[in-house]
Structure 1
Amino acid sequence: MTGGAWLELIASGLITGGIYALVALGLNLQYGLMRILNIAHGEFLMVGAYLTWMAQSTWGLSPLWMIPLSFAAMMALGMAIHALCFRRLSATSPNLDIFEARGLMVAFGLMFLVQNFASYMWGGDLRGYDYLTDPVKFGDAQFAGNKLLVFALALVFSLALMLVLRFTLLGKGVRALMQSPTGAQLVGIDTKRLHPLMFGVGLGLSGVAGCLLSMAYTITPSMGEPYTVTALIVITLGGFGSMGGALAGGLLLGVVEALGMHFTNPSLKALLSYGIFIAVLLLRPRGLFAK
């Protein structure tokens, strides 16, 4: 292989891994903070993708304008879902284990509800649009402009979340709750306000990921579920509750998948992902980057 071919292969993995990381960060935020394993997370990515496609194909609105709109819409929807479902579960569950189990069942219901709603609204056909498809050359390698933009924006949003969690008072409160929920509440952190806000931010990031995906790939009502599974693999790689680990794990998984599919067979993508998932669970169950 030439140097340009290697660069294209690695870049393809990083582009995919950037999306993986962005989806995983939102899911990791929900689970690490509230112990909500939201397996419907990817379905809201799908809704964000459809909203972007609809705005672009109907009104000619640039998908870049839809990024903040989709984030706001999914964040508001997430806060409403938390208030209607998970807040009541938290109040009525006698302990954390029962809350996690009940929350998982609710998330299953949400997954099928959103999938069927999307099928009813937009049908089951493949949807898509052309956006920045002209190739961009870097030496001997060339890449589609939309995929480079997707990677750049996914990285920007991922790093922005990590900076907020690291350097703001809000972020310190979130990290305190992740480390010691009881201790954080004893020093005055209000979980009744912080939990729905962060659940909404998690879904907002999923909506942003859907916007980005719609720029470069076709979309269907069933596209969200594989991204939820991949996000769980990424979180396992990086360590539950570790935002830096989720970013590193997403990029790493994307590159490993790209290399593995190139040197073996594209149909083995799921085998590669689940093989890595099982190996990490057996050899380093706390994740590759967990502190």
Structure 2
Amino acid sequence: MASFLEVLTSGQLLLAALITGTIYATVGLGLNLVYGTMRLLNVAHGEFLMLGAYVAFWAFTLWGISPFLSAIVAGILTALMAVALYFVLLRWCLQNPRMRKRIEPNSLLIFVGVSVILQNVAALAFTGTPRGYQYLSGVLSFGNISISANRLGAFVFCVAICIATLVFLRLSIAGLAVKALIQRKEAAAIVGVNVTRLEFFSLCAGFATAGIVGALVSMTDQITPFMGFPFTIAAFIVIIMGGLGNLTGGIFAGLLLGFIETYGVALTSASWSSILLYGVFLLALIVRPEGILTARQAAR
């Protein structure tokens, strides 16, 4: 029992859970934004995160550029890829009435193809050898709590993204229009919201978020062409738990997922990580299939 209490009261674990949860929340935020506005099932979300990680790796290795700076570049590059993908494939699907009626399964097939292509192109270009680098790897201590400077920096960066998104959605006209588009697309169009423009903006923003997070996690995780898949799964768990299209609920669910993973592994073992995550995911689908925060709001 003593060890159990020590785990629950550990400040080190609390900070680790907050960092992991914030990263999951930010990854899920980009995926949820795209799904909420366009109903696109982007199963290639993690592959754009992977590309952001490679951008940061090569920028630091070749030119010594800080990953915090290259994160912005990675966001811009992945946003440009969203633009290319939109004009090459997605715009036709969205504007074709027959394709639009089945946009979710159609987008799933499209992004499965995009995922496979990006993984294999990255493997051909960079090989499958895991890569990594050291940046701000020194340990900072705050009392009994220790954390590497790069993890702390990634945490602050992700918190800033989440807060900026919430402020944007609540206080700006464009943000309110995005919320209206997520909730009632037809009604938003009737009152004058430019649906096409907002969908395009949301697609670019969602892809850019993935690229930024990829650059941040490259400081602590191994970089491979196949590193994106676990993040894609985590992002889907986050948006299912938080509610499809519910950005605020997704942030809350990301934090919850981080706590479940961190404390669950500490109380059991690392081999239980996936079991715990998927177990909670299935439980959420059974008990509150509409999402954690969405269910609470509906009950009021």
Q: Same fold (TM over 0.5)?
A: yes
Select which of 188, 209, 220 maps to 2:224. 220
- 1:154 corresponds in structure 2 to 158
Structure 2 Cα separation of the partners of residues 47 and 280 of structure 1: 31
Residues 83-94 of structure 1: pairs in structure 2 closer than 5 A: 83-94=87-98
Distance of 2:234 and 2:280 partners within structure 1: 11
- What does 1:181-196 correspond to in 2, within 5 Å? 181-196=185-200
Aligned 1:1-291 pairs, distance under 5 A: 1=3, 6-94=10-98, 96-290=100-294, 291=297
Runs (5+) with no aligned partner, structure 1 = none
CA contact (8 A) 1:4 1:141 kept: no
Query: Any conservation in 1 of the 2:18–2:259 contact (CA below 8 Å)?
Result: yes
The number of aligned residues is 291
Structure 1 contact 133–144 (Cα < 8 Å) conserved: yes
Q: Percent identity?
A: 36
Separation in 2, partners of 1:228, 1:4: 29
Does the aligned pair in 1 maintain the 2:31–2:235 contact within 8 Å?
yes
Q: Distance in 2 between matches of 1:164 and 1:36?
A: 22
Comparing 100-109 with 161-170, which one deviates more in the overlay? 161-170
The CA deviation string for residues 14-38 of structure 1, in whole angstroms up to 9 with x for no partner, is 1111111111000000001110010
Over 3 Å counting, the alpha-carbon distance change for 1:97 and 1:54 in structure 2 is same
TM-score by structure 2 length? 0.93
Distance 1:14 1:97, change over 3 A: farther
1:110-164 Cα shifts (integer Å, max 9, x gaps): 0101111111111101111101111111111211111111111111111111211
- Structure 2 CA distance for aligned equivalents of residues 4 and 234 of structure 1: 23
Q: Residues 93 and 99 of structure 1 are in contact (CA less than 8 Å); yes or no, is this contact kept in structure 2?
A: no
Change beyond 3 A, Cα 1:187–1:270: same
Which amino acid is the alignment partner of residue 173 of structure 1?
A
Q: Which runs of 4+ in 1 moved over 4 A?
A: 1-5
Aligned-partner residue type, residue 129 of structure 2: D
Structure 2: gaps spanning 5 or more residues:
none
Deviation of 1:5 (Å): 7.5
